[in-house]
Amino acid sequence: MAGGNGGGPLGLLLSVTILVLIGILAFSIRLFSVIKYESIIHEFDPYFNYRVTQYLTKAGIYEFWNWFDDRTWYPLGRVIGGTVYPGLTLTAGTMWWLVNAINIPLSVETVCVFTAPVFSAFAAWATYLLTKEVKGTGAGLTAAALIAMVPSYISRSVAGSYDNEAVAIFALVFTFYLYVKTLNTGSLFYATLNALAYFYMVCSWGGYTFIINLIPIHVLLCIVTGRYSSRLYIAYAPLVILGTLLAALVPVVGFNAVMTSEHFASFLVFVILHVVALAHYIRRNLTPKMYRIALAFVVTVGTASALVLVAVLMALVAASPTKGWSGRSLSLLDPTYASKYIPIIASVSEHQPPTWPSYFMDINILAFLAPAGIIACFLPLSDSSTFVVLYMVTSVYFSGVMVRLMLVLAPAACIMAGIALSAAFDTLTGSIKFQPISPSPSPAPSEKEETSILASASKPSSLSGREAAKDKSKDAGSDKGKEQLKEKVTRRNRRKEKEIAEKVVVEKKSPKKLLSVLPLEASAVGILLLIILTSFYVIHCVWAAAEAYSAPSIVLTSHTADGLHVFDDFREAYAWLSHNTDENDKVASWWDYGYQTTAMANRTVIVDNNTWNNTHIATVGMAMSSPERQAWEIYQSLDVKYVFVVFGGLVGYPSDDINKFLWMVRIGGGVFPHIKEPDYLRDGQYRIDDQATPTMLNSLMYKLSYYRFVEATLDGKGYDRVRRTEIGKKYFKLTHFEEVFTTHHWMVRIYKLKSPKNRLRGKLKRKTKPSVKKGKSSSPAKQTKTKKKSS
Partner 1 sequence: MGSTTADARALVTALRSAYAATPIKLKIIDLYVVYALSTVLVQVVYMSLVGSFPFNAFLSGILSCIGSAVLAVCLRMQVNKENKEFKDLPPERAFADFVLCNLVLHLVIMNFLG
Q: CB-wise, 286 or 469, nearer to partner 1?
A: 286
256 binds partner 1 (CB under 8 A): no
Please name which of 264, 262, 268, 269 lies closest in space to residue 325, comparing C-alpha atoms. Answer: 262
68 binds partner 1 (CB under 8 A): no
Q: CB-wise, 280 or 486, nearer to partner 1?
A: 280
- Binds partner 1 (CB under 8 A): choice among 14, 99, 217, 248: 248
- Binds partner 1 (CB under 8 A): choice among 246, 414, 525, 622: 246
Distances (CA, A) of 727 to 242, 450, 724: 61, 69, 9
Least distance in angstroms from the C-beta of 358 to partner 1: 41
Report the site for partner 1 in 133-172 (rule: CB under 8 A): none
286 binds partner 1 (CB under 8 A): yes
Q: CB-wise, 271 or 453, nearer to partner 1?
A: 271
Q: CB-wise, 189 or 543, nearer to partner 1?
A: 189
CA–CA gap between residue 147 and residue 153 (Å, rounded): 8
Q: CB-wise, 29 or 253, nearer to partner 1?
A: 253
HSE-CB at 488 with a 13 A cutoff on CA atoms is 15
Q: Which stretch binds partner 1 (CB under 8 A): 115-123, 183-191, 438-446, 521-529?
A: 183-191
CB 625 within 8 A of CB 731: no
Q: CB-wise, 1 or 282, nearer to partner 1?
A: 282
Least distance in angstroms from the C-beta of 192 to partner 1: 5
189 binds partner 1 (CB under 8 A): yes
Least distance in angstroms from the C-beta of 225 to partner 1: 18
DSSP H/E element including 646: strand 642-646
Q: CB-wise, 192 or 382, nearer to partner 1?
A: 192
62 binds partner 1 (CB under 8 A): no
CA–CA gap between residue 398 and residue 403 (Å, rounded): 9
99 binds partner 1 (CB under 8 A): no
State how far Cα 75 lies from the chain centre: 32
CB 346 within 8 A of CB 338: yes
Report the site for partner 1 in 211-240 (rule: CB under 8 A): 229-231, 233-234, 237-238
Cα dihedral 433→437→441→445 (10° resolution): 30
Q: CB-wise, 317 or 514, nearer to partner 1?
A: 317
Angle, in degrees to the nearest 10, between helices 486-509 and 445-456: 140
Least distance in angstroms from the C-beta of 182 to partner 1: 10
State how far Cα 57 lies from the chain centre: 27
The terminus-to-terminus CA distance of the chain in angstroms comes to 56
Cβ partners under 8 Å of residue 343, min gap 6? 663, 666, 667, 670
195 binds partner 1 (CB under 8 A): yes
Q: CB-wise, 324 or 411, nearer to partner 1?
A: 324
316 binds partner 1 (CB under 8 A): no
Q: Which stretch binds partner 1 (CB under 8 A): 58-66, 244-252, 474-482, 486-494?
A: 244-252
287 binds partner 1 (CB under 8 A): yes
- Binds partner 1 (CB under 8 A): choice among 79, 249, 311, 764: 249
Question: DSSP secondary structure string, 341-361?
Answer: H-HHHHTSGGGSPPPHHHHHH
Amino acid at 312: V
Least distance in angstroms from the C-beta of 260 to partner 1: 14
Distances (CA, A) of 459 to 453, 456, 523, 528: 11, 9, 14, 16
Task: Give, as one character, the DSSP assignment of residue 440.
Answer: P
Before 321, cis peptide (omega within 30)? no
Which residues of this protein are in contact with partner 1, per CB under 8 A? Answer: 186-189, 191-192, 195-196, 229-231, 233-234, 237-238, 241-242, 244-246, 248-249, 255, 258, 277, 282, 284-287, 290, 293-294, 297
